[in-house]
Amino acid sequence: MSNKRMKYSEKDVETFISRSEAETIHFARDLARTFKGDEVLLLEGELGAGKTVFAKGVALGLKFSDITQVCSPSYTLVNIYVGRVPIYHIDLYRLENSDEISDLGWEDFLGEGVVIVEWAEKLPFRPNHALRVKIAVGEEDIRTIEVKKLS
């Protein structure tokens, strides 16, 4: 199997094959470099798929100085980082229902910076123009990352 990364687009879906955390970080970094500062990323994938690793890459692309500080906000629910723009990193893993998610007030961050939502499949609604990022784990820990713009 080649170590060459594969990247292809098909009908508004960009797919990237990552063979390491470093490749995932670089892909997310390059994506985030194009951001204006009001984007919403909806991260989906099983436990350990690499959602937080992807968030580290986004923070790097937005010029956050120390991505070692980017961690899963499972217990705090929201972490805020300041790079070129504010980054609101939200984790819904421990929330059980839509009332708890609504009480979090995550919608208040929309338009205030880049919003990254881990476990976004739990959201009661998806904001328009968000990017859905699905990360699937394959053989030999290869990750398939699909990015789709929602409208």
What percentage of the chain carries pLDDT values higher than 70?
A: 91
The CATH class, in words, for 6-149 is alpha beta
pLDDT in tens, 38-83: 999 999 999 999 999 999 999 999 999 899 889 887 777 899 999 9
Closest CA to 115 of 72, 76, 86, 146: 86
Domain boundaries, the chain: 6-149
C-alpha 76/C-alpha 57 separation (Å) is: 20
Residues with Cβ < 8 Å from 92, sequence gap 6 or more? 77, 101, 104, 117, 118, 119, 120, 122, 123
